[in-house]
Amino acid sequence: SRFKDVRFVLVAGDSQRVEAQAKYLAERLFNGVGSERYQVEQLTKSRSRFTLFKLGPCLLSNHGMGCASMSIALHELFLMCQTAQVIKLITVLRFGTCGGIGVSAGTICITNRALDPMFQDFIELKVCMRLVKRPCVIDMATVGTLERLCKQYPNYEELGEYQVSVGATIATNDFYEEQGRTNGAICEHTLEDKMRFLDRARELGVINMEMECN
């Protein structure tokens, strides 16, 4: 199977971002390898839902927006790896945009804890009339490796305030209300409620917020 050697799964929300990342890997990491395993090729017949690329041990896919869409994509990717009888551990990395909390715009945020808007480190699923809680576990060795690689980047110190920050990430099921925004079509909380929420998040070491990390 062409997927049996998969060791890394890289996912992002947008299909164009995933394709750009695949091309970047081909040009910067696998340039000159000269094998079909390292050619940028769209493996799905349609781009209407998800796109899929594979370069050597790296599998890349988009997952759409939000945890629900992310869950579908990950189920399909892991089922594919199971069918291919991948027996080694797979490192899953999600990259994309987020809203910073207490960090400068442009900062690279690396997640070391995944929380929900109630600051709980698990995700709740309603399965056949049962409430199932799945823990959000992050490999700290991978976090350390990512931070080290970022800081080894040429001219890193010149980035100033736009550097790397490691901390907790909040994943919400909504872009407006669950993130405390006051500019949505429905808003039943006040600006003071929003600031209390963000202040508490900062106290708990939260550095950013998005919709997929847990």
**pLDDT tens-place string over residues 4-23:** 999 999 999 999 999 999 99
Asked if 113 and 29 sit in the same domain, the reply is: no
From the list 70, 51, 49, the residue with the least C-alpha distance to 59 is 51
CB atoms within 10 A of CB 22: 24
Which of 39, 62, 96 is the last residue in one of the domains? 96
Residue type, 30: F
Is this model's pTM higher than 0.95 or not? no
Which of 80, 96, 112 is the last residue in one of the domains? 96
Mean of per-residue pLDDT scores for the chain: 91
pLDDT band of 194, cuts 50, 70, 90:
very high
Asked if 111 and 135 sit in the same domain, the reply is: yes
Q: How far apart are CA 121 and CA 45, in angstroms?
A: 37
Give the bridge partners for 10, in sequence order: 60, 93
Q: Which domain holds residue 22?
A: 1-96
